[in-house]
Each structure stands twice: as structure tokens, then as C-alpha cells.
Structure 1
């Protein structure tokens, strides 16, 4: 393909374009795939979805039908076909498509909801209601299904009258959501339903007018606006919408009257002003005098003259000298302050007061911006850009200044009242759209240093980050916002508050410092008969506390949500997570169990299992893991149930003997890995192999490791899972049989072979095309095998191994390190031979190796207890390419029981590093070996501190000895002597002196 992209890569890129709504680029990418593979169902499906989104239903139907004929199990295509056919009125075909989709994904609530609506349109009420109930059973908080169910009951006259008003409001809201998603036909249906339930709901009539106009139904839109105004005569927005509908019908005088009514009711209604100006421009069809006459006829002679004066001079407005003079002339007959706001709509360049001070070379103004008297915008110390969005209003005496690294961005329709200051030094200030900021507010995304003994104003500025005020927020008079703060969407900050921490969406915060006292949703609910506080708001607040580690406050907020709705599974689940973080294990178990009673979930079962493990309740942990796996993996559920029914005892397989043959690479012998015997059965793609030696402590991790693989197991034809037990001192057969009976093949060595010999045994036992060696204390994340397979199954034979991004976690599972070696650059790892030749940036759980690579190059060297994997990776790199998958898909656990810790304390890792370098210098370039020696000399010195602090002086001395064997150049010896002068290694220095002294006593005099 073009640019050397594989088909799978091109599909991924196309999907990313589609998700980002970059439809033309997505379409090009899908067509590129079809050039290579004309019958690629996924590419056809993508094109069908694009056609559907671009409102081309006939083309979408044709393409998606073609896709499912090529691949009948293409879920997205069936779901989309159902939606298309439902919208076009082909109800039986829509029903069939939804049923096909349900066969592929039977646990998706929106599917049952859409199928229910299709059945409802066919008057199949019982079947429709059954579908809605099934959707709610799968997802109890599925609002669409709840509303659809009650809409069906309403049509059948079975919905109690006291619920009509509530569900009318909910239908109205859902219509609003569909309109935002550009689904105007769906929105129209919801609004019509709201009106049927509550005919006097003016907002529903108005919203219906909006979507009708979007569909080009201007006459119907005008009728809906007039109905809304009959119910709510002071509805400024409805007058404006009526004006829009009339303007589309070329009823310009009537449209102008509607716009005048709108801004008569709402004097600062910017869009009404703007649209009125547009109408007046259209009325100017032949000459200025005809326009003057029409305006005089509509508004009187005085208004006609004043409008003509403003129109004329604002046509020359701008930031240059002549533009400022023209603006000044336009203000002659206009009152000050708000009275001049409408001038910004007479011309797209907006209104900049002649008294404003603009001293900024990087100022970007949107359309119809208003900048009032004595507003100052200036650039100080190479400050960054100031960007004002469309229809931003900056009122008098406000100041915007940018200094070094500071920028200011203000979104559309935001109003900033007089005497506000935005001082962007060191960090940006980003203010969203439709934000209202009262007088005397200040924004400071920085602070001065306060070291004693120095003048504060001479100390450098410090910052914790920029300031963000999200869309729709409202700040009262005199609010001060400090650095590193985010004020959430729709939040309200009381007058005089100082905001020094994040404020969640929809919160009301007051005080110094500002604290959340309630949620805006509380106020709306109080108006509805003082109902209980909003569940979503409490959940949002709780999650905000939880993210910041404020677990006590988070628990209180979750408990508030549960008090409102005791059947809310999510709140019980999240409360359990918070209690678990606080160490309240029994309370967390109780909370998880309540959540599971309401709605079974694999995530909750897995959390519960970890607590049982922590409490050494192994059987309860296994039971919880099994239940969670059954919920998310039907392949696992089928085999486990069949195995349980047959009561078959898991056999202990005979461990294959390691080959005595050798492979010679670079003159060095390596253990041979035999090829897979030809038994004519299909080989699986994956062999996931766990070579284990488990103690009491490590066995706690084994379950988590196995579960991470079993949740991704798709059948023995695709993946085999093998455990090779290296004669562990504790029995593991029963544990493995209980969690993976019928799936996991269990081998046990008669005697301990050692780590890397056991690795070779595990590889020999495998049959898969690709092998994943996984330590029992590591684990993989969801998507590991699927994403790698998509990249590898059609890869070139030159690729012998692959690795993903990974994380290191501690004993408690907390992430302490992240590695994405090539960041997001998926593909063949460039320059990897030098990276791996110098040091090992990989960890085993993130690595998979083609079995034929082992057969060609041999297995792991058993004598390299610490560096056997590194040496093998270097060997692979000398002969094959590596594939890099950038996502974080694996986790390596650092703890006191692993090989790395033991070898560091004993110092033996230095010996293994030296030996690995000596082996690889036979097949790697000399310059790479030299760099490796320099690098690991320094590493041994640094690592010597670890055993020294642990009281293992012999381990530290061994590391120093190996460091000199690795690199004994004069420069390195000098570095060693300099390093030994440090105070923190004095004990080591004394030990070396003592040993030298004793050696000296043994020397006999001549």
C-alpha cells in the first residue's frame, strides 16, 4: 500500500479519522484499502457508515449490504443497517438487521431499544415492551430505553397521568441530545412525543421549530414558533427563531419585526441583532434611498437616519487608524456602554472602541467582537497570542496582558464585564464559550517566589499550570482565579471567592478558598417539588474527589447518591473502590456485593476477588474471578461449564525433555528448540506459556496473571495456554484446575530445572505460531492479543518478534514506571539493534516471539540467571526485525520476591550482565559492545548502592568487581575512585581497605 502501510494499519487510520469526524480523509483511507483488497468487508462497512453520516441513505444501504454479504458477522454493519431501514420505514428489514446484530452482541442495551422502537412502529406492543425491558435489564440506567418503555405505555394509555409531565421533560431533553448529534429526524420524534404528553410545554414547541428548520421545513417551523409564543409570550428565543423561519421564506419585513421583538425582550441578544442587520441588508435591494425608505417605514424617520449613519461608518471599521476614526463617528448617535454592543453586528470586523488601547502584534479577533472603552490588550516580554472568539464582549476598563509563555484564548459568546484583568504570564488562560464573568474578576496563572531575604517582586515567577474556565461557567463579582485551576462546565463561583483548586462541572462554589456548597442540579430539582439532589452531580463530585485521592469526601458523595437511589449499581461499585483504597476491606466487600446484587459486572467481581486474595480467601477469590470471566468471555463460560459437568480431573502432563542438540550462533552454542511435530491438526496462533516457580507469596499473583489471559481466550483453535511448573514447593494443580479447567494445560517438572531451562521447556511444549512467555507475577491488559494479532498475522517473515508499551507496577498494583520506546510510532522498530545491544529496555510480559525464531536461533542460555532474556533479544535483533505496538498492553511487577531483586542484592546481576555482553560481542558490531560496556559499568556503580543500603556489602563488592571486568579502561578506573570518595559509600570503602589489609598480612616478607 501507499507509504508502506499494511491493510490493518490503513483501517486503523481510517477509523481514527472517522472518530475525529474527518470524513473525507477516512473515506480516502478506506478506498486505499479497497484498492488492495476489493472485498475487504471492514473497509466497505466504514464507507457505509460515512455515507450514513453524510445523509446518503441509499448509498449507505447498498455498501453495508455488500459488507455483510462478504462477512455476515460484521456487527457494526448490521446495527447501522437496522438504523437505516428504520429511518426509511422498512420496518421488517430493520427488525431482521437488529436481530442479526443481537445474535453477534446479545448484551447491548441500545440494540434492544432500537429493536423495540421498530416493533412499536409495527404495533407489536408486547414484543416492543419486552425489548425495552431487556435493555433495562442489561443497563438499568439506559434513559433511552426507560423513556421508550414509558412512551409505549403512554400510547396505549397505560401511563399514569402524574408521570406525563416528567416524561415529557425527559423526551424534550433526549430530543435536545439527538439534535446536538445532528440526528434531526430522531430529535423531531422525541419533541413530538413530549408535546403529545404535555401540549403546553413551550420549550418543546420551540425546540421542534429548531429541528424542523434544520430539515428545511420552514413553514412548519414558523407554526411551531407561533405555538410556543402563544404559550409563552415573552419567549425571546422563539421570536428570534420565528424571524429565521420567516427570513428563509423571504418574508423579510415580518422577519425584521420578529427580531426587533426578540431584542426588545432581551436587549443583549447578539444573534437577533446580527440577523436583523442581515435582513436590513437584504431589504437594500436597489439603493441606499430605497433601503432608507424601508427602514423608515418599519421604524420611523429618526431610526432610519440613525441606522443609515451607523451602517455607513461601521462599514469602514477596523484596527487601523482610519478604522478607529470610522468607529468613533459611528458612536455619535449611540448611547455608551451596552448601548454600543449592537454596533459589533453591523460589520464582521466587530466594534473596537476608539478609546481602547491595543498594543499586541499577535491578536486574533473572531467575527462581531465587541471591545469597549479603555480596554487594554498588550504584549509584554514576548508574550503569546491573544485569541478572541466570535461575538466575545470585553467591556470597559478590562485588561488582557500576555507575558513570556503566556497565551489567552476566549471562546465564542463569552462576556467579560468591566474592570477585569487576565494576566497570562508563564502559563495560558483558556476561557470557553458562553462564559459570563462579572466585574472586577482577576485571573493569575502564576505566583512570585517568596524566598526570605530577597525582594518578592525580583524573584522569578512560578506556576502550577494554566487556568481553564470551561463552557457555560459563571463567575460573580470580584472572583480571583489562581494558577493550575480548572472551573468545570456550567460551574458558578460566588462573588469575592478565591479559586485555588478545581471546581467540578455544574458545581456552585463560594468562599476563600472557594469550596463546593451544592450542585446547580440541586436548584433545578428543588423547583420540582424539592426533590432529592441530582445523582449525576453527586457522582461527578465524588469522582472528582476520588481522582484527587480525597477518598473520605468521595465516599460521602457516593453515599449521598446511594441515598437518593439505592439501586444505583455504579455508586455502590465506586464506593467499594474508595473504601478499598482506604483499607476498609470488609466494608468494600459489602459495597461490591450490593452492586453485584443489583447488576452483575466483571469489573466488580475482579475487584472483589483481589480483596479475597488479600485476605487469603483463595477459594472465594477463585469463585469471584470465575464469575467475572463468565460474564465477559462466552468461550470461557462454555468450556468451564462443560468441564464442571463432566467432573474430569485435570491431568498432569509429562514435561517434554529439553533438546540436547545445540544451535551455533557467532561461535557460541545455544540450546536447540525442536520444530512442532506434524500431527496435521491446526496450530493455534498464540501459545501463552507460564513457566512458573511459585512460593506462597508469588502464588497470590498467579491468579491475577491467569485471569488476564483467560479473559482474552477465544478458543483452543486460536490460543493455547500452558503452565509449566518447575517443581514449586506448594501445590498448584488444584488452583489451576479451578480457574482454568479444560482450558489450561498443566505440566510439572519432576525436579527443579531453574528459570531459563524451564523457559526452554515451556517453548518446547508450545505449538502456537507466536509464543508469549509470561511470568506468574506479571499480567497483560485487555486487547494485548487481539491488537498484536491484527498487526502480526499478515506481517513479513522478516519480523521475528514484537513488543508493546508496558508499565511497571509495585506489589499493590500501582504504576511506578511507563515505557513506550517509540512513543506512538507503530511499525517495525527502527534502530532497535543499538538500543537493545546497549541495554535491555524491554520486560518479558510485553514481548512475543515467533516460534520459528526460536527454532532458528535456539532458546535461552540457562547460565544467565538475570540476563538470559536480554541476550536472547539481542540474538533475535541480529537476525530479525522487531514489530512495535505502541499501546500500553502489559504490566511487569516489581516486588521483593522476583529474580531481579534477588540478583541485585547478591550482586550476581553484574556477573550475568558481563557474561551477556561477552556472548553477544560475537554477533553484534564492536561499537555497540563498547557502548554497552561503558553503560553497564556506570549501572553497576549505581546499583552497588542497593545492596549496600540493605547491609549486603558482599553484594556491593561483587558489583564493583564485575564493573571493572566489564570496563577496565583508565577512564572507568578513575570514575570508580571518584565514586568511592562519596560519604554514602564509606562502609563499602572501609570494607575494601580492610580486605586489602588482610590480603597484605598474608603476603610473606622476602
Structure 2
């Protein structure tokens, strides 16, 4: 191990970049050498709080104040911990010890005031808040907390109640954004006390409770918001999400239908006719091949009966057994459905055995064309079948665990209606969400350099290097598919990126910058499974080889070289994620595949530098032998 100071510095860096497992290992190694090292105890306490391990956090934070009783930071953080657990007497004691140790900051006085307020010692609490405001006049929390006490003492006018309600809401949003849900919830609740007829306060409280998985309380809050405002789709959608998580699909269907009937008159008119969704056997489709570059891809047949009227949109929803998210996925499409003349919705059931048809019929009725394959044809062929059956000018493949936001189709249709023929695909901004629908981060096209509305510039040089768009945010002109084919069956885990490159090599892409789609990341997804088995890394290399054959000659070598370097690093990051999850075999498979993607001296040096770190000790000899075997 490096010196203790160097090790601690590395651990702090890991913690700041959310590499918590690596940081934790380093802290424990420091404590093996020096069991009472205060910075290691303090760092572990903070880390355990980040990981939500409250009991372990308490042990380390209490240990560090015993070892280093005169450091005010230790008492302050311990006080915050006690307060988060509603242990207010202990919080007051810790904050007062922080004051004795020399801390005299606005946050300390504010937090002490809050603990005293919860103990009913209002005069002392006001004194602490006023001290915080003396030190920092802009301390909004202290100002709001004084107002909340004045309200409890019935000393606020109606105008000031409105004023303080808005400030409580603002603070709730700020605390929630920082992950401080307990205080966020408290501020939202106080905002509701001050202004009980404000639906946004009830909605914000519901969101915070939902993200804390306090579903029963969240449902109560959302229902109150719905009483105050029945015109907001997000309320219906979040209630539906909760019922899905609880596997209460009957209630999920009911709340989605209620929202759709209220907000989409086209849906309401159709459903009132009680037309059912019938199961159709997927027709036989002759699957030819189309050659692009040196490779062949599944052909998409030309439109049958092109003289007949056709919708602008075809939405293809491939399904197989899973019912976890299908209602949310479908409901958010139905919200934007403007009639059969504008949009057809095709659900392609890949010979699943679960009763998905009943769920879809109960929500969508005959709006949906439901096809069931006579046998399982694989997920990629299932998508291509849906595209082949489509009649829309533009095709949107939407997997059952993803979803679109209100305005997705309207924004795109407005732009694409008269766009140049050179535009073969279009995408919107998107975000990644977790199993429970919580936003995790913005998608790559939205989080990098800002992209304006319109045709994407220098797009091939960007999409050719790495994947920037996920399927739910992408629509493709049907004639583009007819010319270039569908998704490749040879690389099923990365065929979306390959198709994106194929299209960008021949067509322009249109971009709508708003965040209008959601891609779900969860442990049961095909993407997660492909990394766990190491297949993804192998197929990334194949995707690079395939696109090299059809990229324009003047850009081919430059784009491919950049793609190799970028995806070597991408695979290396995922290899160590697999290692941290205890999957040594996947780690080795991914590293070996990464070395096939790029063997430049720079990439080899990057690998060796990574292997030199403490958490890679179990890999060094094995990887070295693999490198020798590869004759690099």
C-alpha cells in the first residue's frame, strides 16, 4: 500500500467519483495499519452515509469523535447523522460540542436551531436561527425556519404564509436535489401546512416519498394533488409507476385509464366504443438480405399497398413475458395518440406465455394491433418483424421497459413533416432512469456539448466513435430501413449503435434537444446481462469491424481509430464494474476483448496503470498471462 496520506487522498478521490467500494477497501486497509486513524474513520462514516448504511455510519462517526474529540467537523457530521435519524437530543449535544470545538458557521447554528425546534425549545431555536442569519444573512434555511416557528405561534399573515410556503417548497427541491430526502420531505410538508390548496406542493412531496420507496404515503400525497389538479399527466403516471412496482396492475390500469380519459379525447372516444384488442398471428414475412459495405443485414420489405392512406407514425413495441413496465410504456404512447390516421401501434409478442394480451387489451383496447409469433424468433428478429409490418412514414421502436414523455411525437412531427429527404432519422434528448423510474442521469447526447434543434452537424464523426443515442429517443424513416435494412442479428447486444452508424453514413439526422424519452437501466435488462457474460465487449469489437466497411473512405480510418480507443476505455470501465460485483470471469473476458479492440501502446499503458491500483491485485498475474498469450 502507498503511504497512509497517499492512500487517504486516493480514497477521497474515489468517494467523490462514486467509486465507493474501492474507497471503502482503501479505508479499511488504512485502519488495519492504524486502527484509530481519524481521517479513515471519518471517511468511512461519510461513505456509509452515501451508501445508506446508517448503522455502520453511526459506528464510524461515533468512533472518530472518541479518537479526535476536539475536531468540530466530526461533531458537526455526527450531529447531522443524529438529526437525520430524528435523535434530536443527541443532535443538540453533538452540535453544542462542535461549537465548543470552535465551529461558528451559519449551517451549524441553523442545524442546532432545527434540532431545538423539534424538541419544542422554540425560543432557543429562534436564537440559533438568528445567530445563523447574523453570520450569513443569505441563509435561506434559517430565515424559513424562523417563519415556520412564527406560523406555529399563529403570528403570520395570509400573505406571509404564501411567502414562506413558496420558500419551503424551494428548500425542499434544493434538499432533494442534494439527496437529503428527510429534510426535503419536512419542507414540503411545511409548505402544505402553510398553503394546503397548492397541488405542486403535494406532488413534490409525493415524488420525494416515492424516491424513498415510501409508497403508501406517496399515493396519499399524489391523490391529494390529483384532487387539486386533475389535468396533470405526471401525477397519473407516477401513481401508475407505484402500482407497477407493487405489482398492483389492476390499480395501475385504472389510474392510467382515468388519466387518459381525462387528457386525451381521442382515446376517450375510442375506448367508449368498447372495441377489444384481438390477438393476430404474425404473418409470414420473407426475410431477405441487403448488403451495406461488406456485410449483409436483414432486409425490410417495401410498403404493401402504398397507394392506401398511411399514418405518420408506427410505434413498434416488442414484448416477451415481462409485465413490469409495459403499462407505463404503453400509457405514455396512448396519451399522445391522435387517432389511427396519425399513428398505428403494433405490439409484437415473441411467443410469450404470460397474460400480456389481457393487460394491453384492458388499457388500449382495439387501438393496438397485437401480433403473437407462433414461436420465439429472438429479440432482434422480433423488432425487425415489427418494422416490416409497419405502414407509418416514420417508425419508432419502443421497448416495453422504456417510455416517452409528453410531447415526444408532437415535437418530432412538427419538425419532420417538411424536413428534407436527406434526413433519415431523428432523435430527442433522453435520460436514464432506474428500476423505480427515478432519473439517474442525462443521456450522452444531452449531457455532452449542447446540441441545437435541427440537423446534427459532424454527426458521423461523433456517432461513429461511440453510442450517443438510445432506442426510445430515436425514430427512423421507413424508407431508410427499406434502403439500409433493420437491426443486425449477428451482434444483438450492440446492434442499435451499429444501425445508428449505418444510417449516419448515408443520411442526415434531425435533433430535438428537449428530454423527451427515458431509457431504463436495471439488473434484468439484456444490456446488463450482456456485460455480466462478457458478450457485450466481444460484440463492440464486431460492431467496429462492421462499420469500418461502409464508412466513407475519407473518414474511415480516423473514425475507426477513435472508436477503438474510446471503446477500449469503455470496456475497461465495465470490466472493473464486473470485478467489483465479484464476477472475475466476466472481468477477464471483457479485458481480453478490450485488447482485441485496441492494442496501441497508449491503451496497454492505460491497462497497466489501472492494474497497478490496489483493487486490481487479484487480476494482475492472470491478465499478464493473457496478454502474453495474445502476443502483444
TM norm. shorter chain > 0.5: yes
CA deviation profile, 1:409-430 (whole Å, cap 9, x unmatched) = xxxxxxxxxxxxxxxxxxxxxx
- Alpha-carbon offset, residue 946 of structure 1: 2.2
Counterpart-to-counterpart distance in 1, 2:571 and 2:188: 50
* Aligned mate of 2:406, from 779, 782, 788: 782
Structure 1 SS opposite 2:510: strand
Q: Which residue, 216, 220, 233 being the options, matches 1:590?
A: 220
- Does the CA-based 8 Å contact 1:799-1:880 persist in structure 2? yes
Partner secondary structure for residue 879 of structure 1 = coil
SS at match of 1:903: helix
Alignment partner of 2:486 out of 826, 836, 859? 859
Distance in 2 of aligned mates of 1:739 and 1:789: 25
Gap change, CA 1:744 and 1:981, over 3 Å in 2: same
Does structure 1 residue 805 correspond to structure 2 residue 438? no
Superposition map of 1:808-957 within 5 A: 808-818=432-442, 819=444, 820=446, 823-924=450-551, 925-957=556-588
**C-alpha distance in structure 1 between counterparts of 2:427 and 2:187, whole Å:** 42
Pairing 1:527-926 to 2, within 5 Å after superposition:
534=161, 537-538=164-165, 540-549=167-176, 572-597=202-227, 600-601=230-231, 602-643=233-274, 648-678=275-305, 680-695=307-322, 699-818=323-442, 819=444, 820=446, 823-924=450-551, 925-926=556-557
RMSD: 3.5
Q: 1:807 to 1:663 in 2, by over 3 A?
A: same
- 1:689·1:724 contact (CA, 8 Å) conserved in 2? yes
Deviations 1:55-113 (A, max 9, x none): xxxxxxxxxxxxxxxxxxxxxxxxxxxxxxxxxxxxxxxxxxxxxxxxxxxxxxxxxxx
Equivalent of 1:498 in 120, 123, 135: 135
Give me the whole-angstrom Cα distance separating, in 2, the residues matched to 1:509 and 1:731.
53
- What TM-score does the superposition give when structure 2 sets the normalisation length? 0.71
Q: Assess, with a 3 A threshold, how the Cα gap between structure 1 residues 657 and 540 changes in structure 2: closer, same or farther.
A: farther
- Partner Cα distance (2:566, 2:451) in 1: 26
Distance in 1, Cα, partners of 2:181 & 2:572? 41
Q: Over residues 834-870 of structure 1, what are the superposed CA-to-partner deviations in whole Å (9 max), with x where a residue is unaligned?
A: 1111111111111111000000011111010211111
Instruction: Looking at secondary structure, tell me which structure has more helix per residue.
Output: 2
C-alpha contact (below 8 Å) 2:493/2:526 kept by paired residues: yes
Change (3 A) 1:560 1:544: closer
The answer on whether the counterparts of 1:725 and 1:749 sit within 8 Å (CA) in structure 2 is: yes
Shift of 1:727: 2.3
Greater relative CO, 1 or 2 (CA 8 Å, sep 6+): 2
Does the CA-based 8 Å contact 2:165-2:195 persist in structure 1?
A: no
2:347 aligned counterpart, secondary structure: strand
**Any gaps of 5 or more consecutive residues in structure 1?**
1-451, 453-479, 486-492, 526-530, 1000-1006
Report the counterpart of residue 987 of structure 1 in structure 2: 618
Structure possessing the higher radius of gyration over alpha carbons: 1
CA contact (8 A) 1:822 1:886 kept: no
Q: Indicate the SS of the match to 1:639.
A: helix
In the alignment, the residues of structure 2 paired with residue 666 and residue 682 of structure 1 have an alpha-carbon distance, to the nearest angstrom, of 34
Q: How many residues align?
A: 497
Q: Separation in 2 of the partners of 1:590 and 1:520? A: 24
Looking at structure 2, the residues matched to 522 and 824 of structure 1 have their Cα atoms a distance apart, in angstroms, of 51
For the residue of structure 1 that corresponds to 2:238, the secondary structure is: helix
Whole-Å separation in 1 of the counterparts to 2:519 and 2:156? 49
Q: Verify the 8 A CA contact 1:674 1:764 in the aligned structure 2.
A: yes
Task: Tell me the CA shift for residue 795 of structure 1.
Answer: 0.5
- CA shift at 1:497, angstroms? 2.4
Partner of 1:81: none
The one-character-per-residue Cα deviations of 1:642-696 (angstroms, maximum 9, x if unpaired) are 12xxxx442112223343321111132111100111164311111111122343x
Q: Structure 2 vs 1, CA of residues 680 and 564 (structure 1 numbering), >3 Å: closer, same or farther?
A: same
Using the TM superposition, give the Cα deviation of residue 557 of structure 1 relative to its aligned residue in structure 2, in angstroms.
5.9
Q: TM (normalized to structure 1)? A: 0.46
Question: Is the partner of 1:884 in helix, strand or coil?
Answer: strand
For 1:866, what is the secondary structure of its paired residue? coil
Matches within 5 A, 1:282-297: none
C-alpha distance in structure 1 between counterparts of 2:336 and 2:527, whole Å: 28
Query: CA 1:497/1:864 → structure 2, altered by over 3 Å: closer, same or farther?
Result: same
Which deviates further from its counterpart, 845-854 or 719-728? 719-728
| Contact persistence 1:801–1:849 (CA under 8 A) | yes
Pairing 1:291-370 to 2, within 5 Å after superposition = none
Q: Distance in 2 between matches of 1:964 and 1:824?
A: 33
| SS of equivalent to 1:742 | helix
Which ranges of structure 2 fall in alignment gaps of 5 or more residues?
1-67, 69-104, 111-128
CA displacement at 1:556 relative to structure 2: 5.5
| Partner-residue secondary structure (3-state), 1:888 | strand
- The change in CA–CA distance for 1:569 and 1:797 in structure 2 (over 3 A counts) is closer
* Partner Cα distance (1:766, 1:682) in 2: 13
Work out whether residues 144 and 167 of structure 2, in 8 Å CA contact, stay in contact via their aligned partners in 1: no
Counterpart Cα distance in 2 of 1:811 and 1:734: 23
1:768–1:717: structure 2 CA closer, same or farther, 3 Å change rule? same
The one-character-per-residue Cα deviations of 1:955-989 (angstroms, maximum 9, x if unpaired) are 22222222232223455445545544443222233
Q: Kindly indicate whether the alpha-carbon contact (under 8 Å) linking 2:169 and 2:201 is maintained by their aligned counterparts in 1.
A: no
CA, structure 1 residues 707+521, in 2 after alignment: closer, same or farther (shift >3 Å)? farther
- Verify the 8 A CA contact 1:657 1:761 in the aligned structure 2: no
Q: How big is the shift at 1:569?
A: 5.2
CA distance in 2, matches of 1:787, 1:715: 17
Secondary structure of the 1:797 match is: coil
1:377-392 pair list within 5 angstroms: none
